[in-house]
Amino acid sequence: MTVLTRLSENIYRIRHWRGREPRESLLSRYGILNLKPDGEPEEIRRDEEPTVTLGNGGMLTFRLDAGEDGGFDIRLALDPEERLYGLGDESRDCIEKHGKIAVMKQENVRSYGPMPFLMSSRGWAVLVNCTYAHTFDIAAAEPDLLRIYGNKGALDLIVFCGTCLQNALFLAGKVMGRPVMLPKGAYGLTFVLNEDTTARTLLDDALRFRDRKIPCDILGLEPSWMSKRYDAGTEKKWNRDRFYIPYWKPENYYGNWSFLWNLRKMGYALSLWLCCNYDLFWKEENDVFRDEEKKDPDAEIADPNLIRGHRMDTVTKPGEDWFEHLKKFVDNGAEAFKLDGSEQVIPFPDRLWAGRYLDDEIRNLYPVVYAKQMKEGFEAHTGRRAMIYTCGVYPGTQRYAATWAGDTGCGPKVLLSLINYAMCGHSNASFDMSTEKESVHFGFLAPWSQHLGWDNWRYPWYCGGETEECYRFYAQLRSSLFPYLYTFAHVASQVSLPMLRPLSLVYQYTGRYDRVFNEYMLGDALLVAALDNHIILPEEDEWFDFFTGKKHTGPREFDYIPTGIQGGALFVRAGSILVTQDWAPGLRDSRPDKLTVHVYPGKDAAFDLYEDDYWTYGYEKGEFALTSMTLSGNELRISARKGSFPDMPEEYRYTVILHREDGSVTTVPSCGKTDGGTVYDLTGKTQA
């Protein structure tokens, strides 16, 4: 049987089976995928034909096959000229996927984030609605043929008939979900401390960041914060030898006898490391295991150990959700959680989940459900956004959490992982930054920034004068870029266009950049080159060197030489509006009353500065404000703010800086207000 359903305009679902109709995939059963993006789906066709043809400018014809006991085989002819992208962090060897065989199977380090999502330069994309391991053969075994097959699971394919790559991501976001907005401090620096940290050294490090003028927002503790290291259960407590909370206070105490109170007074959030092999699927099934005591009236001895079944799972507590035991730590002051790879990215081949699902169906899904319950649990308990970050990824993770590239450090392959996540619409991705200049440059110019000090002392102040100076420079730069970065985090949350944008996605109508592995756009204006200073400037635009102000015209290919404390190249696209603030010691409590608007002329441009309350999910209900800025010829216009959110501050005062081709800058005075806002004459001929 073949069933074709229209889920929304240009979004279709294709199901095919033999024999009895299969049950839903757990991705859709648990509401991770939204299969009703615009209301009730419309069934278009139901018959026995094993082919389905969809229009997309050209035609997409899928040949389908399914086994009677599960498994599937999907075939689609490819145009020899089309380019294919996606698959997430399945491997780290390419951006364009022709000739690749990719297995969708979660594996520690080797494959942290397989995403069964593939999109074409022709504008179409496919998402396999299956949690079992399966394989994409992208013109490897047979030229010009895409084959997707698996031995288990039902044939369930979502097809997005878009017009281009960016439109395909927009459509896919309706089903997979848009990237979540993180709390304000998450877009600053998260610094994960050495395992030898104690409450006293934690506070000393917090103070040292402030004294040394290195902006930092979140400090993270590794497994030693727990009384039992690597405790995957729900009885965990603070390590009293390291992190003492007075015994006469309640477990969820957060007063001035607690070290966490001092941390908050300095403007920090605290992140706690977690590992988990809890059976999260009892909650998802809403069918909690309950013991019923049944005594045999004829028994001579009523042994209480023999009157109920024994559970093989000794970690999960019947009737208790995973997040329940974490509430006291949230009450203590924890506002972020690092979901380590640990047990969540390794198989449990003989485990039965929720009393009904084998591990081969659960393994890819587990990290998503883990992130889901953490995000929703924190929100329900506090009413606020959580900073949840995980290395395990599958479709839907972007709705709940940020990610980092796992225990793989920093290097070119790590950058490829972030690029391939971006090609699936996943925005909030990062990696473990260290103190090498190249790593610092890349780390502070990623969608979010995390430094790992887990088992080392590579703290900036322990690494020598130039290293600390470099680290301070980039930390202050990131803090100053917050208005710009936060705006594009919001763009991602609305249309699935990620903050980090591969050149193949930005310049989507050409394949010239498919092998440019060291460059990406960060938002609309900034071009970052990371870990490799061989630069290819796209021919479609002109570029200002962010550090020197020198202007370059594309196309240009050259070796860039960083100077001083630079760790790489950073360019601004001509025809851009870049909004910055004065750097702040911590973003959390920063409330600037003025912003700087940098104008890089060359083309007309527009920028909508985005603001919200930074802490709640009110933005999903329309509680935000936008300030439109438009550059037309030699005129910049800043309109009045539109929209609102609770406790919205007064409008900003703006300083406008014009960047000239010779590297000089000029402060531009206002020409006065009109009905359309405040106008600035960039020629300088009209004075206020």
Read off the tokens for 534. 């061989």
Question: Which CATH number covers residue 596?
Answer: 2.60.40.1180
Angle at 190 between CA 187 and CA 192, to 5 degrees: 165
Residue 364 and residue 287 share a domain = yes
C-alpha pair distances (Å), 647 with each of 66, 317, 324, 538, 624: 56, 41, 31, 43, 11
**Same domain assignment for residues 343 and 194:** yes
Residues with Cβ within 8 Å of 472's Cβ and at least 6 positions away in sequence, in order, are 212, 213, 214, 460
Residue where a domain terminates, one of 573, 589, 616? 573
Pairwise CA distance, residues 220 & 272, whole Å: 6
- Quickly state the pLDDT bin for 309 (edges 50, 70, 90): low
pLDDT over 90 percentage in the chain: 89
For residue 127, tell me if it sits in a domain.
yes
Please give the Cα distance from 530 to 475 (Å, whole number): 16
Q: pLDDT (tens digit, 9 = 90+) per residue, 366-421?
A: 999 999 999 999 999 999 999 999 999 999 999 999 999 999 999 999 999 999 99
* Residue in the structure block whose two tokens are 């206002």: 670
Does the N-terminal peptide bond of residue 555 adopt cis geometry, omega within 30 degrees of 0? yes
Burial class (CB in 10 A: 0-12, 13-18, 19+), 639: middle
- Asked if residue 641 and residue 610 are part of one domain, the reply reads yes
- The gap from C-alpha 273 to its chain's centroid, in whole angstroms, comes to 18
In a domain, 466, yes or no: no
Residue 452 inside a domain? The answer is: no
208 and 316 together in one domain: yes
pLDDT band at 103 (very low <50, low <70, confident <90, very high): very high
Q: Is the dihedral of CA 223, 225, 229, 230 positive or negative?
A: negative
- Angle, CA of 291, 276 and 306, to the nearest 5°: 25
- 616 and 539 within one domain: no
* Beta-sheet strand order (sheet of 84-89): 42-47, 2-8, 11-16, 155-161, 124-128, 113-120, 84-89
**Based on the domain organization, do 84 and 230 belong to the same domain?**
no
Q: What's at 559, amino acid-wise?
A: D
Tell which wins on pLDDT, 456 or 447.
447
Distances (CA, A) of 424 to 54, 409, 512, 554, 677: 22, 22, 20, 28, 38
Residue after which a domain boundary falls, among 558, 573, 588:
573
Residue whose C-alpha is closest to residue 480's, from 574, 589, 590: 590
Q: What confidence tier does 278 reach under pLDDT thresholds 50, 70, 90? A: very high
Three-class SS state of 676: coil
User: Model confidence at 688, in pLDDT bands (50, 70, 90)?
Assistant: very low
**What is the model's pLDDT at position 539?**
87
Of 584, 461, 459, the C-alpha closest to 192 is 459
Burial group, residue 312, by CB count within 10 angstroms (0-12, 13-18, 19+)? exposed
Q: Is residue 409 part of a domain?
A: no
For residue 420, being part of any structural domain is answered with: no
Q: Compute the radius of gyration of the chain from its Cα atoms.
A: 26
Model pLDDT, residue 313: 87
Closest CA to 64 of 159, 140, 173, 133: 159
Half-sphere exposure of 640 (CA within 13 A, CB side): 8
Tell me how far the alpha carbon of residue 480 is from its chain's centroid: 21
Predicted pLDDT at 300? 60
Q: Is the pLDDT of residue 291 over 70?
A: no
What is the domain count for the chain? 4
What pLDDT is recorded for position 319?
85
Listed residues 160, 176, 192: the one ending a domain: 176
Name the residue among 292, 282, 344 with its Cα closest to residue 313.
282
pTM of the model: 0.95
Give the number of residues written for the chain. 688
Which position has the higher pLDDT, 587 or 342?
587
Residue 511 lies in a domain: yes
User: Both 550 and 580 in a single domain?
Assistant: no
Q: Residues 257, 356: one domain? A: yes
- Is 329 in the same domain as 221? yes
- One domain, residues 295 and 199: yes
State how far the alpha carbon of 403 is from the alpha carbons of 185, 288, 428, 448, 643, in Å.
16, 30, 6, 9, 31
Rounded Cα distance between 492 and 485, Å, is: 11
Domain that holds residue 639: 576-681
State yes or no: pLDDT of 95 exceeds 70.
Answer: yes
Question: pLDDT tens-digit profile of 8-63?
Answer: 999 999 999 999 999 999 999 999 999 999 999 999 999 999 999 998 657 899 99
Q: Which of 149, 97, 152, 153 is nearest to 125 (CA)?
A: 97
Distance between CA atoms of 476 and 55, rounded to whole angstroms? 50
11 close to 175: Cβ distance less than 8 angstroms: yes
DSSP symbol at 472: H
Q: For the chain, give the mean pLDDT.
A: 94
Q: CATH number of the domain at 192, please.
A: 3.20.20.80
Instruction: Determine, yes or no, domain membership for 631.
Output: yes
CA dihedral sign, ordered 653, 669, 657, 665: negative
Q: Which of 84-88, 251-255, 447-451, 604-608 has the lowest mean pLDDT?
A: 251-255
Q: Are residues 277 and 255 in the same domain?
A: yes
Residue 511 CB neighbours (<10 A): 15
Digit-coded pLDDT (tens) for 560-604 = 999 999 999 999 999 999 999 999 999 998 999 999 999 999 999
Beta-carbon neighbour count of residue 542 at 10 Å? 22
Longest dimension (CA), the chain: 104
Which of the pair, 264 or 675, is modelled with greater confidence? 264
221 and 272 in contact (C-beta within 8 Å)? yes
Q: Which residue has the tokens 């015209």?
A: 553
In a domain, residue 27? The reply is: yes
Model confidence at 301: pLDDT above 70: no
- CATH number of the domain that 81 lies in? 2.60.40.1760
The residues pairing with 608 across neighbouring beta strands, listed in sequence order, are 628
Same-domain status, 585 and 664: yes
Q: In whole angstroms, what is the distance from residue 307 CA to residue 303 CA?
A: 7
Model pLDDT for residues 545-555, shown as the tens digit of each residue? 999 999 999 89
